[in-house]
Structure formats: structure tokens, C-alpha cells
């Protein structure tokens, strides 16, 4: 039954036409955004200033109070995009005999599509959180408020690995949702889903929390696409969905999941269905993760991910027996990364993480959500079972490069922009691969598209060890060398192929 989730879980599509997107990230955003948070919810440090809530202060006896409080804060998002489709070109002489279905040469044609979803106003000055797949690849994003006012929106930032995005409209004194506490949700608790399903007007449905920390594998494709587009290893998506039986349909994507106090506890993202329509289960990103991702997108332009530096295995009774673990629940540490956060803190292969931040740890999804709320340099309290004895560790999370600093979007964009002229995807050689090849390091040409490398004889798999006489061990090395090449000069790449010890020299016109 567990394997069926991937087959049944369908991203809550925006319409029957096509899901749209906009990756026009605006970069480093200097403006503070003020969120409303419930008085029982801890405040967020940094750029999120907690205010005394403007939402309900007590749990009502029915659903109407919560519905009235949250409905004005949920908006309709319409998107348009232009995509290329291929149409068979049939010679006129054959069309008269065989009709348009006769095969012929394929010709590209630009076609415009439209779709719609939902979003939630998170600040009075016009910041709105929605799903990444609601605005993905969109040429235009339109936001329609409940009072029928319409605004053109800018995409501030997107994060495919949590399926979240932030857009901005130029408006003030908007009704902003009050942020609740998704950790405090209990199984069986009543919740409301608010959005614009099936291109209808604002709609409220009710249900209960049927599960928490649910992973359905729906964002794995996003991770693979991100790896193909960038020159880095794929990150693992953060899936720890709130599962609810409140009716959610296409168009609800990006809408609000709220408790009976009208506080936001999740952003509706997906449905489990064999048909694409409501079949009893919906999934929402918990607000604890929404807060952190939104804050990062607003402050840095990209999400700051902390890395623990382990290879985790979720334990059950069978795996615990195979690994000779002393406990049957938790996260088994299969290996630790050299110079990573876990190893530096003292964690070892064979440890079982049983608690994180004081919470008993039962699943890999739960662990990734807890880590996903934190940034490089943050301290994580971890309890492990080592040979039957519990031990506490303080782990300082690292960034993807092994450091403690945040990685701004501008840094990532600069590297990708400089390398993009070569028209290829790159990946850094692992220490183990470098050792086997007898070199100190290098950058592998993973995939060649259209670009400068396509004009040479370089083949995919080529390992660059030097560029213009300088050693290349990381993509940053290659980017720096490429950036220093002056107009009219060329780029000389020296390297090897995995099945040959011979060094190859390639002149690349830049």
C-alpha cells in the first residue's frame, strides 16, 4: 500500500490546461516583512516581527468564525505562460488525400496557456505565499483579492524542494493571515481548507487532521530537475505533509489550511487521487516550514539549508535487526560525512538518532522537517542511542559547501551565469573518484546542451583538471577562471576521461 502513494499522489493542478511557473527571481530582497502570529506561537527572529494577532482569540463553537477570519486573506492566482508545441506539417499535395493526420515534418508553434491556483496573504504590504507549482514557468502572475481587485504580481522566490513560493503585489493595508503552530496540531483536530478550487470563487471545506509527517514522494521529480539545471548534487525534498480529509481539488494549490481559531497551519499542496480530483486525502506543507522558507526567500532570495552530514536509514523492526541496533525506532546513521556537522560533533556510524530538539524521532520525514526549519550555523540538539546508552550532542549545521555562512542567491546566480555560457551541467568530482583516477580533484562535464562546449569535441564525462593552466577542483574554480578570460581570448581545458589515463587538451572559444 505504501508504494501506491507515488502512483496516486498527484500535484493539485491549477487547471485542466497546464501548470504554470515563473522563475524570475528578483534576488536579494532588502525589505522587512511583518507577519501576524498567534500569541501562543513563538516568534521568528530576524526579519519576521511578531505582532499581537488580529485573528480570533478563542476557539469558536462552529466553523463560521474561522472561515470569516481567513477568507479575506486567501487570494485567487491566475497565471499565463507560453509554451512551444510541435505540429505536424503536411504537404498540401497529400493533405487533400489523407487529411491532417498524415505524417509530415514537425514544426514548432508557440501556444499560450492559462491556469489558476490560490495564495495566502502573509503581510499587510502585499507578500503572498503559494505553491511553487502554482507559479512555475509563468510569464505573468495575476492576483485577485476577495474584493475583486486585481494586481500584477512579481515572483520574489521559489523553492521546488518544499513546493513553496512567495509573490508580491503593490498594495498596503491588506488583511494578513495569522500564523499558527503546526506542531501543536493533533490527530482528529478540525481544520478548514480555503481556496479557489476548479476556478470557482472562494470556497471553504472542513475536515480533520488525519496524519502528520507524511511523505508521499511527490517532490522527488523537482529535485531531479533542479540537479539537471544546476551544477550540484540533488538535495532531498522536505516532505512532512499534514494529511487532511478536508475536500481539496485542483485550484486549491497554495491555499490555506487553518485551525478553528482561523490561524494558518499549512499551505495546501497536493491530493491523493487516481483521477486528479478529491478522493478523501489532501496534503499541506506545515506552517512551521512555511515561515522559515518564506523568511529565507525574502531575506536571501533562496532557501538556506542546514546539513547534518549523515547517510540516514529510517528504522523499523526488520532493519533494526539487520543493523543490530539496540532500539527499533529512530534514524540509523549508516555513515557520516568527513568534516561534516555530525562527525565534527561526535556522531558515529551505527548511532541511532532517537530525539531531535527534544522530540522523539520516528521518521526520516520528521527529521528533515526539523532540520529544514534551521540554517547553517544553527545548533541542533540531538540524542543518540549508542550501544544501548543514550548520549546528547550539540550539532552545528553546515551549508552545502561545508561552511557555516549563508549562501545568498546572488552567489549562486553568479556561478551559474558564468558557467551557463559553456552550455553544460557540471559536477564536482568526489574525493573517492579523484583518488581512484590518481588526481587531486576535478570537475566533470555531466551534460552538454547548446553552448560553447557543443562546438568542441568534448564528450560528456570529461573531467576538467586544469583551465588556462590553473587547477580546477570545484565549479567555483572553473567559474573564476572563466570570468577572468578577456574578450578575444580563449579557454584551454585540460583533463581526462574515466576510462583513460591520457590527458586531453581542448580549446574552447569564449
C-alpha cell at 392: 546528547
State whether residue 352 is helix, strand or coil: strand
* Residue 404 φ/ψ region, left for φ over 0, alpha for ψ in the -120 to 50 degree band, beta for the rest: alpha
* Spatial distance between the Cα atoms of 373 and 289, rounded to a whole number of angstroms: 6
C-alpha cell at 334: 549508516
Question: What CATH number does domain 421-509 carry, 2.30.42.10, 2.40.30.20, 1.10.10.10, 3.40.50.2300?
Answer: 2.30.42.10
How many angstroms separate the Cα of 315 from the Cα of each of 177, 217, 319, 322, 331?
38, 18, 6, 10, 6
* Helix segments in 163-316, DSSP class H: 220-229, 287-299
How many angstroms separate the Cα of 376 from the Cα of each of 66, 163, 166, 403?
37, 21, 22, 8
Read off φ and ψ for residue 398, nearest 5 degrees.
Answer: -110, 165
Which residue, among 415, 419, 413, has the nearest Cα to 26 in the 3D structure? 413
CB-based contacts of 201, cutoff 8 Å, min separation 6: none
Question: Can 310-396 and 421-509 be said to share one CATH topology?
Answer: yes
Q: What is the pLDDT of residue 236?
A: 77
| Percentage of the chain modeled with pLDDT above 70 | 76
* Spatial distance between the Cα atoms of 237 and 239, rounded to a whole number of angstroms: 6
User: Residue 181 above 50 pLDDT?
Assistant: yes
Q: Strands 463-467 and 490-496: what pairing?
A: antiparallel
How many angstroms separate the Cα of 414 from the Cα of each of 3, 126, 136, 234?
40, 29, 22, 19
> What residues form DSSP beta bridges with 271?
10, 282
The secondary structure of 306-341, three-state, reads CECCEEEEECCHHHHHHCCCCCCCCEEEEEECCCCH
User: Residue 354 above 60 pLDDT?
Assistant: yes
131-135, 311-315, 428-432: segment of lowest average pLDDT: 428-432
C-alpha cell at 207: 475536515
| Check whether domain 310-396 has CATH 2.30.42.10, yes or no | yes
User: Residue 12 above 50 pLDDT?
Assistant: no
* Spatial distance between the Cα atoms of 500 and 207, rounded to a whole number of angstroms: 62
Radius of gyration of the chain, Cα coordinates, nearest whole angstrom: 25
**Cα angle vertex 22, ends 18, 24, to 5°?**
165
How many Cα atoms sit within 13 Å of 182 on the Cβ side? 28
Q: What is the pLDDT of residue 293?
A: 94
Which residue, among 214, 177, 210, 207, has the nearest Cα to 193 in the 3D structure? 207
Look-up: residue for cell 513560493? Answer: 165
What's the chain's average pLDDT? 80
| Check whether domain 4-299 has CATH 3.20.20.30, yes or no | no
C-alpha cell at 428: 564536482
Neighbouring C-beta atoms of residue 433, cutoff 10 Å: 15
Q: What is the pLDDT of residue 433?
A: 84
Question: Average pLDDT, stretch 279-295?
Answer: 92
Read off φ and ψ for residue 385, nearest 5 degrees.
Answer: -100, 115
Q: What is the pLDDT of residue 430?
A: 83
Q: What is the pLDDT of residue 44?
A: 39
**For residue 71, what is the DSSP state?**
G
User: Residue 415 above 50 pLDDT?
Assistant: no
Is 299 within 8 Å of 36 (Cβ atoms)?
Answer: no
20-29, 271-280, 296-305, 397-406: segment of lowest average pLDDT: 20-29
* Spatial distance between the Cα atoms of 335 and 340, rounded to a whole number of angstroms: 11
| Percentage of the chain modeled with pLDDT above 90 | 51
How many angstroms separate the Cα of 176 from the Cα of each of 123, 197, 303?
5, 21, 23
> What residues form DSSP beta bridges with 241?
214
Question: Average pLDDT, stretch 2-6?
Answer: 43
What one-character-per-residue DSSP string does 144-162 give?
E-TTS-EEEEEEEEEETTT
User: Residue 48 above 50 pLDDT?
Assistant: no
User: Residue 52 above 80 pLDDT?
Assistant: no
Work out the burial of residue 126: count CB atoms within 10 Å of its CB; fewer than 13 is exposed, 13-18 middle, 19 or more buried.
Answer: buried
Active site residues per annotation: 133, 163, 253
Helix (H) or strand (E) holding 135: helix 132-135
How many angstroms separate the Cα of 190 from the Cα of each of 86, 207, 244, 261?
48, 6, 9, 10
State whether residue 67 is helix, strand or coil: helix
**Domains of the chain: which residue ranges?**
4-299, 310-396, 421-509
User: Residue 206 above 50 pLDDT?
Assistant: yes
Q: What is the pLDDT of residue 437?
A: 87
Which residue, among 10, 3, 14, 18, has the nearest Cα to 274 in the 3D structure? 10
Look-up: residue for cell 539487520? Answer: 322
User: pLDDT tier at 218 (50, 70, 90 boundaries)?
Assistant: confident
Q: How far is CA 99 from the centre of its chain?
A: 46
How many angstroms separate the Cα of 241 from the Cα of each of 11, 197, 266, 282?
13, 20, 9, 9
pLDDT in tens, 416-425: 555 767 888 8
* Spatial distance between the Cα atoms of 287 and 258, rounded to a whole number of angstroms: 10
Amino acid at each position: 500500500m505504501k508504494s501506491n502513494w507515488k502512483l496516486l499522489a498527484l500535484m493539485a493542478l491549477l487547471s485542466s490546461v497546464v501548470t504554470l511557473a515563473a522563475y524570475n527571481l528578483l534576488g536579494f530582497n532588502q525589505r522587512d516583512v511583518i507577519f501576524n502570529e498567534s500569541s501562543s506561537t513563538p516568534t521568528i527572529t530576524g526579519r519576521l516581527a511578531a505582532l499581537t494577532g488580529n485573528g480570533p482569540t478563542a476557539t469558536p463553537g462552529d466553523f463560521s468564525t474561522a472561515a470569516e477570519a481567513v477568507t479575506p486573506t486567501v487570494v485567487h492566482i491566475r497565471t499565463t505562460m507560453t509554451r512551444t508545441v510541435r505540429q505536424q506539417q503536411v504537404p498540401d499535395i497529400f493533405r487533400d488525400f489523407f487529411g491532417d493526420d498524415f505524417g509530415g515534418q514537425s514544426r514548432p508553434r508557440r501556444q499560450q496557456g492559462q491556469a489558476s491556483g490560490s495564495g495566502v496573504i502573509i503581510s499587510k504590504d502585499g507578500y503572498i505565499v503559494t505553491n511553487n507549482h502554482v507559479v512555475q514557468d509563468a510569464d505573468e502572475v495575476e492576483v485577485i483579492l476577495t474584493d475583486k481587485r486585481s494586481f500584477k504580481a512579481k515572483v520574489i522566490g521559489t523553492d521546488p524542494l518544499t513546493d513553496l513560493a512567495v509573490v508580491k503585489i503593490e498594495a498596503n493595508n491588506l488583511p494578513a493571515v495569522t500564523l499558527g503552530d503546526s506542531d501543536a496540531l493533533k490527530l482528529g483536530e478540525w481544520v478548514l481548507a480555503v481556496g479557489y478550487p476548479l476556478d470557482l470563487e472562494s470556497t471553504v471545506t472542513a475536515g480533520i487532521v488525519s496524519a502528520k509527517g507524511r511523505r508521499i514522494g511527490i517532490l522527488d521529480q523537482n529535485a531531479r530537475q533542479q540537479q539537471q539545471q544546476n551544477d550540484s548534487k540533488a538535495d532531498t525534498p522536505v516532505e512532512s505533509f499534514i494529511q487532511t480529509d478536508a475536500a481539496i481539488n485542483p485550484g486549491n494549490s497554495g491555499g490555506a489550511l487553518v485551525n478553528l481559531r482561523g490561524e494558518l497551519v499549512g499551505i495546501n499542496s497536493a491530493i491523493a487521487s487516481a483521477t486528479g480530483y478529491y478522493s478523501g486525502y489532501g496534503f499541506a506543507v506545515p506552517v512551521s516550514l512555511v515561515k522559515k522558507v518564506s523568511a529565507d526567500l525574502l531575506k536571501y532570495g533562496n532557501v538556506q539549508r542546514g546539513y547534518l552530514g549523515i547517510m540516514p536509514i529510517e528504522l523499523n523492526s526488520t532493519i533494526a535487526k539487520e543493523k543490530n541496533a539496540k532500539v527499533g525506532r529512530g534514524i540509523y546513521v549508516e555513515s557520516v560525512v568527513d568534516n561534516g556537522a555530525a562527525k565534527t560533533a561526535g556522531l558515529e556510524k551505527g548511532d541511532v538518532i532517537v530525539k531531535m530538539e527534544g522530540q522523539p524521532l520516528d521518521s526520516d520525514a520528521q527529521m528533515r522537517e526539523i532540520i529544514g526549519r534551521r540554517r547553517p550555523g544553527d545548533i541542533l540538539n540531538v540524542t543518540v542511542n549508542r550501544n544501548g546508552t543514550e548520549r546528547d550532542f550539540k550539532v552545528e549545521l553546515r551549508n552545502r559547501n561545508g561552511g557555516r555562512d549563508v549562501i545568498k542567491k546572488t552567489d549562486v546566480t553568479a556561478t551559474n551565469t558564468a558557467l551557463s555560457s559553456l552550455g553544460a551541467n557540471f559536477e564536482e568530482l568526489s574525493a573517492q573518484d579523484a583518488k581512484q583516477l590518481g588526481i587531486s580533484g576535478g570537475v566533470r562535464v555531466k551534460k552538454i546542451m547548446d553552448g560553447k562546449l557543443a562546438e568542441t569535441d568534448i564528450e560528456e564525462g570529461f573531467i576538467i583538471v586544469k583551465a588556462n593552466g590553473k587547477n580546477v577542483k570545484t565549479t567555483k574554480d572553473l567559474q573564476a577562471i572563466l570570468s577572468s578570460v578577456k574578450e578575444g581570448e580563449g579557454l584551454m581545458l585540460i583533463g581526462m576521461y574515466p576510462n583513460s589515463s591520457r590527458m586531453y587538451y581542448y580549446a574552447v572559444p569564449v
